[in-house]
Chain A
């Protein structure tokens, strides 16, 4: 979690967000994490695209296993 400590403490990088979004599939985010991710996603179209990619893969695996 060392990478989460940025110079401006509350901001997350895309790398941080990619990890948290993946992790959220197994472990729900805390309120604080969810807020920080939401802030980042609000201004980062790249991570919004990544989030949609994760959703597609999740649905793909769901169809794959059934």
Chain B
């Protein structure tokens, strides 16, 4: 545990940092897949933030600032892990797409018409929606989840991800397609179909 070193005017206090530890850990764990690695990365992040907290101007929230530091630490950790080969699927791209054949008829039309999800703000302003989305993200297979999170949360470019994981652009697009289709299906079933807390 970090020792209390006082509160700055921007709210960047050790207490605030500690209260965010859980959230930071969750994010790191989903990316790195290892409890130990995630704990190390979070500890490094909080230590770095503590050193830098007097320079924190308060322009963003503490949460955003810490998450920014965390993302850099995660990318560094992923790079270090790359010395070991990553078990990303190297299946033929076409074969991967067969996973979602069930969603389409033989001629390529939708089996079930995609539903109208209504006004996005009705869902996106509700914590319950993000709770359901978190469950859907957790359901993604580990390698798919890692790639999806690198793209959508760490905001790495396609080139960076392909380089980090030694995959082709085509591999990447197929994996992201799979992730989006899975997420879509999960959200449709658990939020938008009335099974969840739809407004």
Contact = CB atoms under 8 A, between A and B. Distances in A.
Interface in A3-57: 3, 13-16, 18-19, 22-23, 25-27, 45-47, 49-50, 52-57
Contacts, number: 95
9 closest cross-chain pairs (CB), A and B:
A13-B108, A15-B108, A49-B114, A61-B152, A50-B114, A15-B104, A22-B177, A46-B113, A65-B153
Contacts of B166: none
B169 A22 contact: no
Interface string B93-120: 0100100100110011110011111001
A22 B133 CA distance: 18
The SS class assigned to the A binding surface is helix
B54 to A, nearest CB: 24
The SS class assigned to the B binding surface is helix
A25 B116 contact: no
A57 B176 CA distance: 13
Nearest to B113: A46
Interface residues of B, number: 38
B76 interface: no
Interface residues of A, number: 31
Contacts of B116: 49, 52
Interface in B143-199: 151-153, 155, 158, 169, 172-173, 176-177, 180-181, 183-184, 187-188
B119 to A, nearest CB: 10
Interface of B: 64, 67, 94, 97, 100, 103-104, 107-110, 113-117, 120, 123-124, 129-130, 133, 151-153, 155, 158, 169, 172-173, 176-177, 180-181, 183-184, 187-188
Contacts of B183: 57
B30 to A, nearest CB: 11
A53 B64 contact: no
A65 B152 contact: yes
B173 A27 contact: yes
Contacts of B180: 22, 54, 57
Contacts of B129: 60
